[in-house]
Amino acid sequence: MFSNDENDELNFIKNQLIHVEKHPALIPDFEFTKENMIEYGLSIPSLFNINLQGNINTAKHLSIRVNGLTKARITNIDSPGIEILRSYSSLTRSKSKTYRRNIKFNYLIKSLFYAESVEIYLEKESGADLNLSFQSQNIEVESKADTDTKKHFILKYSGNQAPFAAQFVKGKDFDIM
């Protein structure tokens, strides 16, 4: 457990993360298909709050397209990245026991990737036990088809608030000033 001082420092870093500027990720839009998911054992990223219940083998067609990726680099040279690094550096020096116990050998996020929208297309037989659900909090949902056999939704996240992936680094290798 962290002491109050350590919690204050960690809360400061957490609050700074909200203000990290997003930039184009230079990654093209991409799509997962039913075949990709089966072949590579992929699942729908849980960060999108999308849930697929049932066996995807029973789907006639399934695709999930991720559009408009941006990247937020936590260790940016601008503010708040510089403040995050400064706080991290201070934590490593002044709270070395806490650093060694909780951070040094664990993974930290260096960059976050966000999606502007996710497009889901599902086609199945009417009796197939396969269903799709998602949380629609803070997103705009455009429904192109929502029947027993076809579902086609476009989920648009306001302000690119759907974290899609992260770049991790060991605490001991985290870039500090």
Return the residue matching tokens 């960690």.
10
* pTM summary value: 0.63
Q: What is the mean pLDDT of residues 33-56?
A: 76
The pLDDT of residue 80: 61
* Torsion angle defined by CA atoms of residues 10, 15, 17 and 21, in that order, rounded to the nearest 10 degrees: -150
C-alpha distance from residue 160 to each of 12, 44, 64, 142 (Å): 23, 18, 17, 16
1 — pLDDT class (breaks 50, 70, 90): very low
Taking all residues of the chain, what is their mean pLDDT, rounded to a whole number? 76
20-33 per-position pLDDT tens digit:
677 788 888 888 88
Cα-Cα-Cα-Cα dihedral sign, residues 29, 33, 36, 38: positive
Helix (H, G, I), strand (E, B) or coil at 93: helix
55-67 per-position pLDDT tens digit:
888 889 988 888 8
Q: Which among 163, 24, 18, 166 has a CA at the least distance from the CA of 81?
A: 18
Beta strand 59-67 with 117-124 is antiparallel
Contacts of 111 (CB under 8 A, 6+ apart): 71, 72, 73, 74, 166, 167
Helix (H, G, I), strand (E, B) or coil at 164: strand
Q: Is the pLDDT of residue 177 over 50?
A: no
Cis peptide upstream of residue 24 (ω within 30 degrees of 0): no
- 99, 37 Cβ separation under 8 angstroms: no
Q: What is the mean pLDDT of residues 163-170?
A: 74
78-107 per-position pLDDT tens digit:
666 667 677 777 777 777 777 777 777 777
C-alpha distance from residue 37 to each of 63, 163, 174 (Å): 9, 20, 32
